[in-house]
Amino acid sequence: MSSLRIALNDGIQLPWLAFGSGTALWQQDAAAQVEHAIRAGFVHIDTAQMYQNEDSVGRGIARSGALRGDLYVTTKLDRLLEGANVHDSLVDSLRKLGLDYVDLFLVHMPVDHPSLKDTWAEMEQVKEEGLAKSIGVSNFQPRHLDVILESAKVVPAVNQIEYNPYLVKASQPVLDYCKEHGIAVAAFGGLSPLSRFSDGPVNPILKKVAARLRKDAGKLVSEAQILQLWLRKKNIVCITTSSKKERLAEYVAVGLLPDITDAEEREIDEAGSQVHHRVWATWIDEGL
């Protein structure tokens, strides 16, 4: 089991490693994958209304036989249809997931909400009611966080963003902002340098660091694990996924590996800073 946890600003401990039911599982039945992930040692499951598979995530959780208290479940608020509200939308997610509460509820996309202030006030209400233990945001930039912090009673606990070495430069302002306000950062797309841009400047360094760790730790170490260790070194939560049981075991085993060094982290940062690659929420780079 991956036991590392990150302390949130509301006193709750968030499991560092999460299995996601988006991307490859978007609009797909995720039950078997979620069950495998929990059996492999994942305790944090990340889903979203937008993925349209919360019901199958719920089935996977139930089939795993895990105790509710041993799991940490995140879901995310989609765009609200005319006349809909945050409370009813979360109650619908809970019905699909077969749960009484989620551990973390995030506003998925700032650009989907005409009044971020009003949406955030409703998010605070569902936390107050105990339907979500923690509340946070996703894909938020400082300009969006500024809007909600102006009137927020609860500071978001988490900002879930796309992050990997090719976003080091572009993401520095939002990372600095989150640090200043005590908002934990969670990353998706962390494996993009392997899965989506496999001939970039970071790849030779990942190979080199994996070889160094393999020698020192006396264990097989993959390049994916180096990217995950790079996130861990920065205290950034890792939201990943895999269709393969071997990779699920590999990700969980990161918990047993030592940290990469400061110099290795710097070398990956510097190589990644040479290029910019964003896959999702590309409107961020247009200043929206």
- Using CA atoms, how far apart are residues 20 and 182, in angstroms rounded to an integer? 24
- Using CA atoms, how far apart are residues 193 and 279, in angstroms rounded to an integer? 11
125 part of the interface to ligand NAP, by CB under 6 A: no
Give the residue, chosen from 15, 22, 165, 200, that forms a contact with ligand NAP under the rule CB under 6 A. 22
The residue range among 2-10, 18-26, 257-265, 267-275 that interacts with ligand NAP, by the rule CB under 6 A, is: 18-26
The residue range among 7-15, 111-119, 182-190, 252-260 that interacts with ligand NAP, by the rule CB under 6 A, is: 182-190
- Using CA atoms, how far apart are residues 14 and 239, in angstroms rounded to an integer? 12
249 part of the interface to ligand NAP, by CB under 6 A: no
235 part of the interface to ligand NAP, by CB under 6 A: no
Give the residue, chosen from 53, 64, 134, 139, that forms a contact with ligand NAP under the rule CB under 6 A. 139
205 part of the interface to ligand NAP, by CB under 6 A: no
Give the residue, chosen from 49, 75, 141, 240, that forms a contact with ligand NAP under the rule CB under 6 A. 240
Total Cβ atoms within 10 A of residue 243? 11
Determine whether the annotation assigns residue 113 to a binding site: no
271 part of the interface to ligand NAP, by CB under 6 A: no
> Looking at beta carbons only, is 109 or 271 nearer to ligand NAP?
109
Give the residue, chosen from 206, 226, 239, 271, that forms a contact with ligand NAP under the rule CB under 6 A. 239
Which residues inside 37-56 make contact with ligand NAP, applying CB under 6 A? Answer: 46
Cβ atoms of 51 and 27 closer than 8 Å: yes
Angle between helices 203-217 and 262-272 (to 10 degrees): 160
For residue 194, the one-letter residue type is L
Query: For ligand NAP, which residue has the nearest CB?
Result: 20
Q: Among positive and negative, which fits the CA dihedral 147, 150, 153, 156?
A: positive
Q: Both tokens of residue 59?
A: 């089935």
244 part of the interface to ligand NAP, by CB under 6 A: yes
21 part of the interface to ligand NAP, by CB under 6 A: yes
How far apart are CB 26 and ligand NAP at their closest, in Å?
8
75 part of the interface to ligand NAP, by CB under 6 A: no
Cβ atoms of 209 and 268 closer than 8 Å: yes
CA dihedral 50, 188, 179, 213 (to 10 degrees): 160
The size of the interface with ligand NAP (CB under 6 A), counted in residues, is: 25
206 part of the interface to ligand NAP, by CB under 6 A: no
Catalytic residue list: 51
Name the burial class of residue 85, with classes exposed (0-12), middle (13-18) and buried (19+) by CB atoms within 10 angstroms of its CB. middle
Query: Could you tell me whether strands 237-240 and 132-138 are parallel, antiparallel, or unpaired per DSSP bridges?
Result: unpaired
How far apart are CB 179 and ligand NAP at their closest, in Å?
20
> Looking at beta carbons only, is 53 or 64 nearer to ligand NAP?
53
Cβ atoms of 21 and 46 closer than 8 Å: yes
Cβ atoms of 64 and 97 closer than 8 Å: no
Question: For the chain, where are the E strands, in sequence order?
Answer: 5-7, 13-15, 17-20, 44-46, 72-77, 102-107, 132-138, 158-162, 184-188, 237-240
Q: Interface with ligand NAP by CB under 6 A: which residues?
A: 20-24, 46, 138-139, 160, 188-192, 194-195, 224, 239-244, 247, 280
Binding-site annotation: residue ranges: 108
